[in-house]
Amino acid sequence: MKITNYIAAFFMAVTLTACTSTDEEITGNGNITLEFDNAFSTSDLLLDTAPYKGNETEKIKISKVKYIVSNIRLEDKEGTIFTYPKNESYFIVNEENPESQFINLFNIPSKDYTKITFGIGVDQEKYLQGAEGQGEFLTKAQDAGMVWSWQAGYKFFVFEGTYTSINTPDETAFAFHMGSHGTALDNYKEITLTLKNSARVRTNATPEIHIVADIANVLKGTTKFMLDDTAQIHVNATKSPQIATNVNGMFSVDHVHN
Amino acid sequence: MTNVLQNFRYTKILFFFSLFFLSHTAFGCDLCGCATSGGSFGQGTLNNTSFIGTRYIFQKFVSKDGIFDNSPTSTERFNTYQLWGRIPVSKKLYVSVVLPYQDLKRKFTDRNENINGLGDITLISWLKIPFYKKENTEYTQIGKQPSGHSIEIGLGSKLPTGNFEQVLSNRVNPGFQLGTGSLDGILSLTYTYAADKFGINTNTSYYIKGENKNEYRFGNQFSFAGNFFYAIPKKQYSIIPFIGISGNIYDKIKQFNEVIANTDGAVYNTTVGSEVLFKTFIFGANYTLPLQHNLFGGNVTPKQSIALYLNFNLNN
């Protein structure tokens, strides 16, 4: 019957067009984008609006979340590590500025990356280069209010807002500023995250690694911080390292877009 | 009567001509989990007669547009217009064809998206095994009274005739696609029982999804549907109301041979509808409501769907 001939022809046409070669030789460089998406628990972080549940009866309204992301390294499937050029590897993520939440990295070797490492803050090596070595980034950090004027050093993490609790019925300001204290106390820490899906950098494909930073972890992480105990933490040799640990623990990779 | 027959012959030729023509055009890429697989909508009518016709399907979904609890949602409305048919090749062999045109709309809080075009064509060949009434102690298939029971085994494929766009798959609902871009295999088994006044029609299908040019592979899919129907004969026509359940169960999506988390799921539906059977054509309408679902980690909520069809009978 003619019908069957048509069907056979149809199937053949499909089969022929469906055949593609998948072997590819990966060369050249590409780009990658990191998105730092701030959250509070499982909600997208909203500044100055919803009061979030802190510890116990504390309710907080967040007005500022800023942090320095630095020294980005990518590890591929074979375990080879690509280090992004150090001088270009300092960024400020600011919840008030959506653009700052996307970090674009250029000239990355085309590979399938499975791990990412980054630091929060400025390492001692960079810090000891002084104003000249830190160059443009120092200006950027000063403009963003990420430098202590009264203490030579960077604020790695800025977290501000107001809170109320059973003991503090009136809205009261809180501020956590965490950083290294000159050379006396090094609070720079690095985080390595495993990607659920590999980020495939190609000359013609820019993957995006979507990183979530759960700000709730600052108060509820390894160390529990009651704002009623201390609402202002700036330079504190005991509490700053504890905040640094909590900040370190707030990052996770949600997914990778290829 | 001869007039009608000639008409059918003409339509048949036209239908296959258009099918053949389409096979030579527009081989893009795509397919999708929710929108493009016929799934529980089935490949035929209640009593599995031969026909050619048109079918309209409306499906609605609400999807989270983001990764957080408080992320906004988008509403997806899928309109599918199908030319479909079930054409006898021989007494026991049929071919069913579904040729869809997709018009998909998605409404975000701040913008709208619309894609339309040819969807993925489905072709299934069916082998019909009727059972006959018991003679003495043994079932036999030769020339006796039909028992009303029949089984059909279907083997087919879904062709990558609809467009697949990688950028769309990066959204929470990767089903917003004209097609999957893949060549898929379909295994299907239908059991039908038709008595004088009532009958049941059940189908289970398994879709083996292929990989598309983006090295993207939708999860394999298991679909089932069961309908109970009742015939109310009138002078010129019969009304056949029916009620049924159906389900679609999806495996995880893979890309570059890596499993993508939160892309599996299932949806179970109930359907009510009716067919109106005239001598030369069938009009059908049904309404499907999800009873239970968990798609894409709960981020995609299937809402109601509606199907309308008008088929011309090829049996007489």
Q: Which residues of A touch B186 (CB under 8 A)?
A: none
Q: Which two tokens stand for residue A195?
A: 């990607």
CA-based nearest residue in chain B for residue A198 = B258
Mutation target to probe the A interface, by most A beta carbons within 10 A, among B8, B69, B258 is: B258
The residue ranges of DSSP E strands in chain A, in sequence order, are 29-40, 43-44, 52-53, 59-76, 81-83, 90-94, 102-109, 112-120, 147-148, 153-154, 157-164, 172-178, 189-200, 208-214, 232-233, 251-257
Q: How confident is the model at residue B137 (pLDDT cuts 50, 70, 90)?
A: low
Q: Which residues of A touch B69 (CB under 8 A)?
A: 42-43
Q: Which residues of B touch A26 (CB under 8 A)?
A: none
> How far is A124 from chain B, CA to nearest CA, in Å?
36
User: Rounded to an integer, what distance in angstroms lies between the CA atom of residue B250 and that of residue B258?
Assistant: 16
Which pLDDT score, from 0 to 100, does residue B47 have?
Answer: 62
For range B247-251, the mean pLDDT = 90
CA-based nearest residue in chain B for residue A256 = B170
ipTM score of complex: 0.76
> How far is B232 from chain A, CA to nearest CA, in Å?
36
Q: Calculate the CA A210 to chain-centre distance.
A: 9
Radius of gyration of chain A (CA): 23
For all residues of chain B together, what is the average pLDDT?
A: 79
Which pLDDT score, from 0 to 100, does residue A170 have?
Answer: 93
Q: What is the pLDDT of residues A231-256, one digit of tens each?
A: 999 888 899 999 999 999 999 999 99
Helices assigned H by DSSP within B164-295: 166-169
Domain of B55: which CATH number?
A: 2.40.128.130
* In the block, residue with structure tokens 């022809």: A9
> How far is B235 from chain A, CA to nearest CA, in Å?
36
Q: What is the pLDDT of residues B171-185, one digit of tens each?
A: 666 678 888 888 999
Q: Is the pLDDT of residue B283 over 60?
A: yes
The partner residue sitting opposite A44, judged by closest CB among B66, B210, B260, is B66
> Which residues in chain A come in under a pLDDT of 50?
1, 16, 19-22
Helices assigned H by DSSP within chain A: 2-18, 124-128, 130-143, 216-220, 239-248
Mutation target to probe the A interface, by most A beta carbons within 10 A, among B50, B65, B68 is: B68
pTM of the predicted model as reported, rounded to 2 decimal places: 0.77
In chain B, % of residues over pLDDT 70: 78
Domain residue spans of chain A? 28-257
Contact (CB<8Å) A18/B89: no
Which pLDDT score, from 0 to 100, does residue A6 have?
Answer: 57
User: Rounded to an integer, what distance in angstroms lies between the CA atom of residue A39 and that of residue A121?
Assistant: 20
Q: How confident is the model at residue B295 (pLDDT cuts 50, 70, 90)?
A: confident
Contact (CB<8Å) B256/A15: no
For range B137-142, the mean pLDDT = 54
- Residues whose CB falls within 8 Å of the CB of residue B182, separated by 6 or more in sequence, listed in order: B31, B158, B160, B164, B209, B210, B211, B212, B216, B217, B218
- Stretch among A146-160, B74-88, B231-245 having the lowest mean pLDDT: A146-160
Mutation target to probe the A interface, by most A beta carbons within 10 A, among B9, B16, B122, B171 is: B16
Which pLDDT score, from 0 to 100, does residue A3 have?
Answer: 55
CA-based nearest residue in chain A for residue B87 = A3
Contact (CB<8Å) A18/B210: yes
Contact (CB<8Å) A14/B183: yes
The partner residue sitting opposite A43, judged by closest CB among B19, B69, B183, is B69
Cβ–Cβ contact A14 with B under 8 A? yes
* Among A229, A228, A226, A223, residue whose Cα is nearest residue A243: A223
Q: What is the pLDDT of residues B142-174, one digit of tens each?
A: 556 778 888 999 999 999 988 887 766 666 666
Q: Which two tokens stand for residue A250?
A: 């707030």
Q: Which two tokens stand for residue B259?
A: 């499993």
Cβ–Cβ contact A23 with B under 8 A? no
Domains identified in chain B, total number:
1
Which pLDDT score, from 0 to 100, does residue A132 have?
Answer: 76
Q: What is the pLDDT of residues B17-43, one digit of tens each?
A: 332 222 222 222 122 333 334 444 555
Top pLDDT among B147 and B109 is at: B109
CA-based nearest residue in chain B for residue A208 = B170
> How far is B281 from chain A, CA to nearest CA, in Å?
23
Hey, which residues 112-131 in chain A have their CB within 8 Å of chain B?
Answer: 112
